[in-house]
A and B are shown apart, each in its own frame.
Chain A
């Protein structure tokens, strides 16, 4: 029960961050694929740098244990990601931003969005046996992390990811890697 209340609170702040980053807007999502507005990438990479540093530091201090790490099965992660990108460019949302946008009162998020996810969930659940076991068996590395898999220091990995993010932010914000919208 306590966990469910925590989930609700976590969700509220998650939703506020999505709203304030502008991710509950169709054009913010689609324009990351047109390279005319890289907000999504900046938002996600900042969140990743903060959370990976915090979590590995807290674990180093013995203050948290990690939950089950999402499983790596290269073909399924990649094919799923490609189809997901297709759906994102088509709809301009993903499951999380659609839920937050629905709360804002956007009916194109509330009705076709949330209903579409339920339909997709039913189709997936009913075809799971034919699809998932086969695709997740390919190049399956299990519930692993890069530091464990390659036997490298997590802090070095995070440092490299942080530097890579900073370089990318610099290129987007200062070196003109973001394309201009046509006609502007």
Chain B
């Protein structure tokens, strides 16, 4: 029992143990709510919600009215859950960053390669996030909504997407890291 509690409190589990937990979560979502995991869709629901409040005419299109209707959807609740899951996980290992000095960028590898500049990290992260969300739209989902959710149902789309992730990610990492790749 003590061993299990100590393991739960560790900063990092074996990826195989964490993977089993995610697998069970994926099954539970289908079994309990007939739904799939996902994250990128929630941001489209929220973007529509904000957009239709701020600029109703601009957001009165096919996409925001019918394809991804704004609202507090299943996906939005799941993303709120993700936020608290991250919080609980980090709290259990005492690695929360709230109020810490390095909260703006805590990754040692990043600092070693790109220096201590926070705005550089934030600029690349911001551009990356825009690209991620747009790409998820084209692909039909992100790592959770397509790769995991589609993969567990054996949809070919998921495996094509995962292959694409590596085709795009490897040269990008080579380009960014150059001789440190």
Contact = CB atoms under 8 A, between A and B. Distances in A.
B2 interface: no
B165 A88 contact: yes
Contact of B30 (A47, A66, A143): A66
Contact of B61 (A43, A46, A125, A182): A125
Given A64-B30, A85-B168, A118-B50, A14 B82 contact: yes
A10 B28 contact: yes
Interface residues of B, number: 132
A25 B93 CA distance: 15
Contact of B103 (A7, A65, A107, A112): A107
A21 B166 contact: no
Interface string B90-111: 1000011111100111111110
A145 to B, nearest CB: 4
Given A43-B15, A147-B154, A20 B89 contact: yes
A96 to B, nearest CB: 4
Contact of A108 (B58, B100, B105, B176): B105
Taking residues whose C-beta sits less than 8 angstroms from the other chain, chain A's interface range is: 35 or more
B77 interface: yes
Contacts of B36: 67, 70
Interface of A: 3-22, 24-27, 30-34, 39-40, 42-52, 54-56, 58, 63-67, 69-74, 76-109, 111-126, 128-129, 131-132, 135-136, 141, 143-147, 149, 154, 157-158, 169, 182
26 contacts: A6-B32, A7-B77, A8-B77, A11-B84, A12-B82, A17-B22, A27-B109, A34-B173, A46-B15, A46-B19, A49-B23, A51-B23, A71-B140, A73-B157, A74-B156, A77-B146, A88-B169, A90-B128, A94-B143, A96-B79, A103-B86, A103-B88, A107-B97, A113-B126, A117-B43, A125-B61
